[in-house]
Structure 1
Amino acid sequence: MLMSRPLGWFWLLAIALLAWNVIGLIALLYDPVIGLGDVSKLAPEQQAIYAARPAIAFYGFVLATVAGTAGVIALLLRRHVALWLFIASAVGLVLQNAWLFGDPANLTAEVLGFQALIAGSIALEIWLALTAKKRRWSR
C-alpha cells in the first residue's frame, strides 16, 4: 500500500531521466544507420572505435538503453520493478564498454567522460528507485 505521494522534485527528476533515456533510444535506433555509410563522417578516433566494437557491445547498448527507459517508465508508474530494470541497465553498460579497456587507445577523454555521464545517470536512477521504495512512493 502506498503511504504517501512523491514530492515534486521526484517527478521533475524522473521526467528529466525519461528524456535522457529517450535520447539514448534515438541513438540506439540511429546506430545501425551509421553502419550504412555515415561512419566516414565521424572523427577518425570515433571511426576506429566504431570499427573495433564487438557485437556484445551493441547488445549491451540495447540492454542498457531499453532497460533504462523501461525502468524510468516503471518509476513514473511507481513500481518497485524499476530498481531491477536500472540494475539491468547497469549490466548493459558494463557489457557495452568492457571491451574499451582492452586497448588504451580507445580510452579518450571524450569516451571516458561520456560513459561516466551515463554511469552517473544510472546511479541516479538506482538512487531514485531506492528512495521511492524507502519513502513508500512505489509499490
Structure 2
Amino acid sequence: MQQATRGLRVWAGLALLWNLLGCAAFISDLRLTAADIAALPAAQQALYAARPAWAVAATATAVFGGVAGCVGLLLARRWAVPLLALSLLGIVAQDIGLFVLANGVALTTPVVWALQGLVLLVGIGLLVLARRAAARGVLR
C-alpha cells in the first residue's frame, strides 16, 4: 500500500469543506419557516411546494455521504469509494427531483443550473479521485 499523496489530501480537504457547506445549506433549507418561504419569489415558492420528499432525502444523502466519503479519503480508507458513489447517486436523484419532476427548469434561473452542474461535476470528480486512489493502492 502506498501512502496517500499530498495532492489527494489537499483535494479531499477542499472537498470536505465543500460538502460541509452543502450540509450547512441543507440544514438552512430545512429550517425555513412558512413565513420565510412566503417571502421568497413566487417561482421559488412553487419549487418548494413541488419538490418531492424523496428529493430532499436525496440531498441529505448527497451532502452527508460526501462529507463521510471525504473523511474516508483523508483517512485513506477504501470505504470512501462507496460513500462517494452514494453521494453521487444522491446528487443525480436530487437533480431529477428538482429539474424533471418539480419543473425546476422553468422555475429556476441559469445560476441554479450552473451551481447544480458544478455540484454534479464535483461529485463525479470525487468518485473518480477515490477510485483512482483505490486502484493505486493508496486506500486501505
Question: Alpha-carbon deviations, 1:15-50, whole Å to 9, x = none?
Answer: 000000000111121122114432234344322212
For 1:47, the aligned partner's letter is: Q
Q: Which residue of 1 aligns with 2:119?
A: 118
Q: Which residue of 1 aligns with 2:10?
A: 12
Question: Alpha-carbon deviations, 1:42-101, whole Å to 9, x = none?
Answer: 344322212211111111111111111111111111111111111111111122121322
May I ask how many residue pairs the two structures share in their alignment? 137
Q: Which residue of 1 aligns with 2:51?
A: 53
For 1:52, the aligned partner's letter is: A
Which aligned pairs between 1:1-139 and structure 2 lie closer than 5 A? 2=1, 4-99=2-97, 100-102=99-101, 103=103, 104-106=105-107, 108-139=109-140
Is residue 65–residue 87 contact of structure 2 (8 Å, CA) maintained in 1? yes
TM-score (norm 1): 0.88
Name structure 2 gaps, 5 residues minimum.
Answer: none
Is residue 4–residue 76 contact of structure 2 (8 Å, CA) maintained in 1? no
Is residue 49–residue 106 contact of structure 1 (8 Å, CA) maintained in 2? yes
Mean Cα displacement is larger for which, 69-78 or 44-53? 44-53
Name structure 1 gaps, 5 residues minimum.
Answer: none
TM-score (norm 2): 0.88
Mean Cα displacement is larger for which, 75-84 or 29-38? 29-38
| Same amino acid, percent of matched pairs | 31
Is residue 9–residue 73 contact of structure 2 (8 Å, CA) maintained in 1? no
For 1:136, the aligned partner's letter is: G
- The structure 1 segments of at least 4 consecutive aligned residues displaced by more than 6 Å after TM superposition are none
| C-alpha displacement of 1:107 | 5.1
